[in-house]
Amino acid sequence: MDTGRILSRRGVFAGGAALGAVTMMAGERVLLPHAASAGDALAPQHRPRLAPLHPREDQITDIKVCIRPFRAAGPRLDVERIGDKTIFHNYGHGGSGWSLSWGSANLVVGKVAATLNRRVAVIGCGIVGLTAALTAQRAGFDVTIYTRDLLPHTRSVRANGSWTPDSRIALTQTAGPAFADQWEQMARFSWATYRTYLGLPGAPIMFEDNYILSDKPFDDRPAPVPPAGAPGRMPRATEDFATYESRIRDIIPAVEDIPEAENPFAAPHARRHSLMIYNFGAYGHLLLSEFHQAGGRIVIREFHSPQDLTALPEKVIINCPGYAARDWWRDDSLIPVRGQTAWLPPRPEAPYGLDYRGAALLSKTDGVMIQAVDLDGLGEMTGVGNSFEHPDPTEAARAIGVFADLFARMPMVGG
Amino acid sequence: MMRTKDMIARGIATCALGLALLPGPAPARPPAASTACTELAHGADLYRAACAMCHGAHLDGNFQTPALTGRFVANWAGAPVSALEAYVHRAMPLMAPGTLSPDDTRAIVAFLLEANNLPQGKTVRVGVRKALACPS
């Protein structure tokens, strides 16, 4: 992880204190840095304030379970013939489907364009299918999406919805250096496309301050060496997983250390970075609207075998089934990696995120998301091989408990 | 269509209990029907143990998990029952695919057809009167 820059004394939290003085008059509560002083009140007032969140288990509105479609070699992007159809695969993006969706679509549609066909079918309407369909439309194709479910019901919409382009995307050795180059191309293209959705009504895409908290000093030593030998299809340890983020650090806001005097949290060590997040409701509706407005057609249909595709009128097919490829396309290279998010009511007055003790919190427009990322010290192996797609309230309660405990220990003013 | 809850209750109560546990001579029925009713009861038990956690006790699914009624019928109409069995065997239960034995898979599919008021047979047929009826 990047060491980042050191914030100036009049940093984010000093600004928070300044705004706190204002909001106290309105009877609201805000967090103050431990060492807030009168001088801090002169800090610029454009800095974000930090209203406390007190998440409770009895405030859960939903628990979503997703299965990340992980492939050791990275997403499947090859081309296959079925009868007279040409199938362009576009699935298996692990925990990076949202983040890489536009870039992956760009690669695939580029290959599709070379076929000189004008009509294209897209299988699946998760985030990978929908962005592939939109990208094909923008390249001049007539597009029909064939799908079992639309975006609100697909697995991908059960993610946490933040920029994580190399989250369980591949195994370093298995994928090899060529995939690293391809990943960078996808990540850069996706990032640039997402930026075009910033600042729109309803905030489909936005940036949020994300705070990484720790009870111990951050350890900036190089990552441990992976286990000896090649992992093949199955990861053996966290170190087997590829990390490519350093390749795009020139466009991704760096992580910054927060000096102790400006750290309002009850954890002794804190970092901050500006994180891009996807608000599923606004973004999903926007993408579907764009697809329809451009003349796209959606056919609700479930396929039972790859041979079923031969009945489609389109000769060119972009295949975006996500984890369903495992049973539909008999692709046992897909490894399930379970993830679960708990959702609490939206808290628009507290727009920030937290990572602490293996749990993550993101305050989004459609709710406060709390996720057990790694409560048991398993690192990236958490959820690997687990396809149990059923809510686990105990896991949700443990993750919520991390932040309930954190805020219970935090100083507040006002109220 | 008969409510799924009723189907489950009937499958268990009439087939399992009615045939196996009630005293007195078994009702006069062809052996094939008796075997089929036993399989249905077994399928109902298996469904409750292996499927109901996600698809619901009444096959009604939820926001994340598809119902095994309605669209399920439309999706498999006209398909070979063997294809449905192959899918269930290959993909379900999601947390442990491939763990259902062929016999158990057949029993679950038979139960699903019965629960949707569809006839048993080699093809998923919609709008055809059922031939099999376990005693009520």
* Domains within chain A, CATH numbers bracketed: 69-209+279-334 (3.40.50.720)
Residues of B in contact with A387 (CB under 8 A): 94-97
Pairing between β-strand A205-214 and β-strand A142-147 as defined by DSSP bridges? unpaired
Query: What pLDDT was estimated at residue B132?
Result: 66
Picking from A21-30, A134-143, A301-310, A389-398, which range would have the lowest pLDDT averaged per residue? A21-30
Measured between CA atoms, the residue of chain A closest to residue B51 is: A390
pLDDT > 70? residue B94 = yes
User: Of the CATH numbers 3.50.50.60, 3.20.20.540, 1.10.760.10, 2.40.110.10, which one belongs to the domain with range B4-115?
Assistant: 1.10.760.10
| A340: confidence class by pLDDT, cuts 50, 70, 90 | very high
Q: Shortest CA distance to A131 belongs to which of A197, A50, A68? A: A197
Distance from the Cα of A66 to chain B's closest Cα (Å) equals 9
Q: Where are the alpha helices (DSSP H) in chain B?
A: 4-10, 31-46, 52-55, 71-76, 81-91, 102-115
Asked if A327 lies within 8 A of B97 by C-beta distance, the reply is yes
Q: Between these two residues, A32 and A321, which has the higher pLDDT value?
A: A321
User: What does the pLDDT average to over A239-262?
Assistant: 94
HEC readout, chain A: CCCCCECCCCCHHHHHHHHHHHHHHCCCEEECCCCCCHHHHHCCCCCCCCCCCCCCHHHCCEEEEEEEEECCCCCECCEEEECCEEEEECECCHHHHHHHHHHHHHHHHHHHHCCCCCEEEEECCCHHHHHHHHHHHHCCCEEEEEECCCHHHCHHHHCCCECCCCCCCCEHHHHHHHHHHHHHHHHHHHHHHHHCCECCCCCCEEEEEEEEEECCCCCCCCCCCCCCCCCCCCCCCHHHECCCHHHHCCCCCCCEEECHHHCCCCCCEEEEEEEEEECHHHHHHHHHHHHHHCCCEEEECCCCCHHHHHHCCCCEEEECCHHHHHHHCCCCCCEEEEEEEEEECCCCCCCEEEEECCEEEEEECCEEEEEECCCCCCHHHCCECCCCCCCCHHHHHHHHHHHHHHHHCCCEEEC
pLDDT > 50? residue A111 = yes
Asked if B95 lies within 8 A of A386 by C-beta distance, the reply is yes
Query: What pLDDT was estimated at residue B36?
Result: 86
User: By a Cβ cutoff of 8 Å, what residues of chain A touch chain B?
Assistant: 64-65, 67, 148-149, 153, 158, 302, 304-305, 326-327, 330, 386-390
3-state secondary structure of B1: coil
Distance CA A66, CA A389 (A): 7
Query: What pLDDT was estimated at residue A32?
Result: 55
Greatest CA separation for chain A: 75
Query: What pLDDT was estimated at residue A136?
Result: 98
User: What does the pLDDT average to over A19-40?
Assistant: 45
Average pLDDT, chain A: 88
**What value of ipTM does the predicted structure carry?**
0.71
Bridge partner residues of A384 (DSSP): A337
> pLDDT over 70 for what percent of chain A?
86
User: By a Cβ cutoff of 8 Å, what residues of chain B touch chain A?
Assistant: 53-54, 63-66, 75-76, 79, 83, 87, 90-91, 94-97
Range with top average pLDDT, A155-164, A190-199, B113-122: A190-199
End-to-end CA distance of chain B: 16
pLDDT > 60? residue A8 = no
Tokens of A5: 């820059």
Tokens of A41: 């009140």
pLDDT > 60? residue A236 = yes
Distance CA A157, CA A150 (A): 10
Each residue of A153-181: pLDDT tens digit? 899 999 999 999 999 999 999 999 999 99
Contact indicator for A318, A108 with CB cutoff of 8 Å: yes
User: What does the pLDDT average to over B50-72?
Assistant: 92
Query: What pLDDT was estimated at residue B5?
Result: 47
Picking from A77-91, B22-36, B54-68, B109-123, which range would have the lowest pLDDT averaged per residue? B22-36
Measured between CA atoms, the residue of chain B closest to residue A338 is: B95
